[in-house]
Amino acid sequence: MLVALTSSYSQEASKTAPKDSPEPKPTNTNVDPKSKAYSLRKKSWIALRYLRTSLLNFGKKTDWDTSLADYAKAESSFQRGEWESAGNQFQTLKTKLDQLAEAQAKEVFNRSDALEKDIQPKIVDLKLNTEAPGKQYIPVMEKHLQIYRDTWQAAKLEREIGNQGQNLYFAKQGLLQLYKAKILLEKSKEGKLESEEKLSKNKVLETDYLTPEEVKYWDDCLEVLNESEEKNRQKEKQAIISVYQSRTGKKPGESKSNANPANSAPSGEGKK
């Protein structure tokens, strides 16, 4: 199932990524203000969309609020048909958003580069070690790495033609693939854990195999807010533990005899 999903994603990434095409044509200075406003409005919207979670997840709410206000102001001019004014405002906003997106993408690429260098040798070692458990994960891990490289190329092309919002998007999708590979690599080390052992070791969710900082980037790659997701994860874990207790009558890691001390007769007392 994972292989099918990752293969589907790879195909989708290749469709979305810019093709090998001639150099972009020089900007036509004679383009009418209305067309220019429409074009810049679309580009600003895309950049704003891909930046939202990153700005909110990494303590840049002020930048988000300012960018949102600037977009709303430009949109107001656009809706009134003030094409030249709207175009100029969207151009200023796009320049600012491009700078923010490029800076965030650079941080993501740095993390990706370091993580790939850490993961790749370990996967090779796993393949060569005939006694190592978890070899069933190797094809999927290699697929994740291939998708990462595909998205890296897609991001590079977007960056070269000035689409910094899409550059950030592909950068995050690539990092997400590396995290998925890391999760499988960690699972391969531990072999097959039973349900109780997973609960005892706090390994019930995929993100339990990542560091807290990595989990924040994981959420950002998925375009969700880390603070909200953390609350959801805690609820999910508690639900899993509750189901386990209702079925076994004990907490994870607790022996059956100690599960319900109230059910045992106190010392020195017997049935009457």
- The verdict on residue 7 lying in a domain is no
The one-character DSSP state at 21 is -
Domains in the chain: how many in total?
1
- The verdict on residue 3 lying in a domain is no
Residue 144: closest CA among 169, 111, 119: 119
pLDDT of residue 257: 53
The one-character DSSP state at 22 is P
**Plot region of 19 (φ>0 → left; ψ -120 to 50 → alpha; else → beta):** beta
State the residue range of the domain holding 151.
34-248
- Listed in sequence order, the residues at least 6 apart from 112 whose beta carbon sits closer than 8 Å to its beta carbon are 148, 152, 171, 174, 175, 178
- The verdict on residue 102 lying in a domain is yes
pLDDT of residue 130: 85
Per-residue pLDDT of the chain (272 residues), as tens digits, is 434 444 444 454 444 444 443 344 444 556 799 999 999 999 999 999 999 999 999 999 999 999 999 999 999 999 999 999 999 999 999 999 999 999 999 999 999 999 999 999 999 999 999 888 888 899 999 999 999 999 999 999 999 999 999 999 999 999 999 999 999 999 888 777 667 777 877 888 999 999 999 999 999 999 999 999 999 999 998 898 888 888 877 777 665 555 555 444 444 444 43
pLDDT of residue 247: 81
Q: How far apart are CA 13 and CA 144, in angstroms?
A: 13
Owner of token pair 């990595």: 214
- The verdict on residue 119 lying in a domain is yes
- The verdict on residue 11 lying in a domain is no
- The verdict on residue 138 lying in a domain is yes
- The verdict on residue 130 lying in a domain is yes
- The verdict on residue 242 lying in a domain is yes
Q: How far apart are CA 226 and CA 208, in angstroms?
A: 14
